[in-house]
Structure 1
């Protein structure tokens, strides 16, 4: 299936061909990673998000992560991402906790000048901006591309980026980092240089399955595992388990006649999940949806069923960590949202 973007297109009629009962419906969930956008290739605004979070699982809250939505062209380039925070606030103004926090964009290569951007983001977010993410996933091979606007090589290694990261920590914000497995050593040096900064590694640390990398290659898996383990030794790092619908991961569920079942997804993802859990432990790991990016390959209900299958052998406390507590701690979300007797907070 050809696609003009790095992501598989969302096809609601195709997703509807697979339907599952919700597993463990009592499990409370915080979805710590989704996007919202309205683009020529598809729309995923507040209404589409609510359709997914209301599809059966007990998703109490979510976290929006930057994706270049609604930039303000009337502002100076460095301040244009403030428009994204304003747009998300506008789209979601009638709901509570969807999102409960925002991970915004501020160009960390601005160094000390990023302070003005962080101040503007904080004002626009009215307390919701809890983290920052830059576009950092880079690989020289043209097949390894997960972003419509790939960054230049060396972004994570630049001294200016390091200066900006220190200021993010000073502001009490976390830093999400989307990097491929070939960049995990760069993330390691960043995390080691700024130990006061909580760094949340997105999408399992970017195990690759395209271009020079092949899904199932034991050497590529071993290289990813070794780099991830080294990174996990730094206690200011966290991991998001998900992103398996990204085309660079190498899965091609979207090319099939019918969507996959959660049992198949859990079996496919188990080796990566197991290594992430082994390296970071449940207290420093969290499940994520990465919707609507991953929605081109499987549905929301199926995705969380797969995660519940993966976590089925864990203790109740470990499951709470993976499904909401770790993310709530990283992004400073009120624990009372997830109290068992609270129920949904959507208005």
Structure 2
């Protein structure tokens, strides 16, 4: 869909995208494929050329943050250390971008990897190895906790253990993040938000970022229940916002899980229509967290399900049309730069 780019000079740091090659894995997923996987068929290979093309498609994206996704793990390492391969791979992509041969954009200026925090204290050497793989760019980890009693909500193979963030072994591993000065990204589904609240209260000094507005659900047994569950979601978002160590990512709503829109992939929905669907969620998050603890994200290529990259950012800009210049700077770039420690890529104001 061709749309005029709104506010084309507004600097953006896209704080959440993936890089991967899922082509060798597609045949291993059971048929019929979950909508999440169907949305990725056209983006099964997504690395430098693809993210660079999207990030330079009209909006003023000045840098990005890579988010772990289980890509390019080391084949010849023990299970705990396989994850280091992902950071090594992404650091190479970041170096390619930082060469300046492809313009001023700094892809993967920050890298969020993965370590199994259920390993408790044994997670510490893994975190150290991740840092050694990219000393300047590795900033933290995500250990996703998404789970639901209905197996059709997530589909194979994405389920985390039930109650992961409350697990004693997980929390022993979680302590290692603070000891190494690392951030934590949390991905859960909307009914699990109390788990993140409990975790944030238990570790008030640990920087935590909640991904994807807490992932409202409009899929499987939750289909048609967005309105019914909105007040539950809103209450939990406001409770979580009371934890000053938590920041929230504004996005992810174009995923198949959220069904906003339901028709995908790449439904061709206009930014006006997307803004109307997303506004209640985005505005609630900003109302709760303020403009200093929230950041817009693309979640690409997953959000390709319902929004092309330029249209997605247009929708966000429509929602913040009445915000001040300082508020926009914070929401689109400043907060991401501060949270992930990449202030050096911000343009001088």
CA shift, 1:304, in A, is 0.6
The one of the two structures with greater contact order (alpha-carbon pairs below 8 A, sep at least 6) is: 1
- In the alignment, is the contact (CA less than 8 A) between 2:266 and 2:307 conserved in 1? no
SS at match of 1:94: helix
**What's the counterpart of residue 19 of structure 1?**
2
Rate the CA distance shift 1:261–1:281 in 2: closer, same or farther, 3 A: same
What does residue 3 of structure 1 align with?
Answer: none
Preserved CA contact (<8 Å) 2:216 2:226: no
- 5 Å-filtered alignment, 1:159-238, equals 159-215=168-224, 217-238=226-247
Which stretch shifts more, 330-339 or 259-268? 330-339
Structure 2: distance between partners of 1:92 and 1:20: 29
Cα 1:23–1:253 shift into 2, 3 Å: farther
Q: What residue is the counterpart of 2:294 in the other structure?
A: 285
- Where does residue 348 of structure 2 map in the other structure? 339
Q: Quote the Cα distance in structure 2 between the aligned partners of 1:295 and 1:269.
A: 15
Give per-residue Cα distances to partners, 1:76-95, cap 9 Å, x unaligned.
10110000011112234321
- For residue 107 of structure 1, what is the aligned residue in structure 2? 116
Matched residue count: 323
> Within 2, Cα distance between the matches of 1:103 and 1:221?
30
- Matched residue, 2:36: none
Question: Structure 2: any 5+ residue segments left out of the alignment?
Answer: 24-40, 99-105
- Distance, in Å, in 2 between the alignment partners of 1:183 and 1:139 is 8
Measure, in 2, the Cα distance between the counterparts of 1:155 and 1:256. Answer: 30
Cα distance change, pair 143–25 in 1 and its aligned pair in 2 (3 A): same
Q: TM-score, normalised by structure 1?
A: 0.89
Displacement of 1:254? 4.1
Structure 2 CA distance for aligned equivalents of residues 124 and 293 of structure 1: 26
Compute the TM-score of the two structures, normalised by the length of structure 2. Answer: 0.89
Query: 1:256 & 1:184 partners in 2: Cα distance?
Result: 27
Shift of 1:258: 5.6
Distance 1:284 1:19, change over 3 A: same
- What displacement does 1:257 show? 9.3
Q: Secondary structure at the match of 2:96?
A: coil
Give the alignment partner of residue 74 of structure 2, picking from 56, 72, 75: 72
Question: What RMSD over aligned residues (CA atoms) do the two structures have, in Å?
Answer: 1.6
Q: How many angstroms apart in 2 are the aligned matches of 1:208 and 1:258? A: 18
The corresponding residue for 2:52 is 50
CA apart distance, 1:222: 0.6
Q: Distance in 2 between matches of 1:147 and 1:246?
A: 16
- Equivalent of residue 138 in structure 1, options 147, 156, 170: 147
- Match 1:89 to one of 91, 97, 102: 91
Partners of 2:5 and 2:226 in 1: CA distance: 33
Listed one character per residue, the Cα deviations across residues 271-301 of structure 1 (whole Å, up to 9, x for unaligned) are 0011101110110000000000111322111
| Number of the residue aligned with 1:345 | none
2:256–2:262 CA contact under 8 A, matched in 1: no
Paired residue secondary structure (1:286): strand
On the 8 A contact 1:146/1:246 being kept in 2, the answer is: no
2-structure distance, mates of 1:80, 1:292: 24
Provide the residue aligned with 2:20 in structure 1. Answer: 37
Distance 1:63 1:152 in 2: 26
1:259 equivalent in structure 2: 268
Quote the Cα distance in structure 2 between the aligned partners of 1:129 and 1:258. Answer: 34
Consecutive unaligned residues in structure 1, runs of 5 or more: 1-17, 341-347
> In 2, are the aligned partners of 1:184 and 1:227 still within 8 Å (CA)?
yes
Distance in 1 separating the partners of 2:142 and 2:151 = 23
Q: d(CA) in 2 for partners of 1:212 and 1:321? A: 37
- Checking the alignment, whether the CA contact within 8 Å between 2:261 and 2:267 is kept in structure 1 is no
147 and 315 in structure 1: CA distance in 2 versus 1, 3 angstrom threshold: farther
Structure 1 residue 135 displacement after superposition: 2.5
- Answer whether contact 2:68 2:112 (CA < 8 A) is retained: yes
Q: Distance in 1 between matches of 2:348 and 2:308?
A: 26
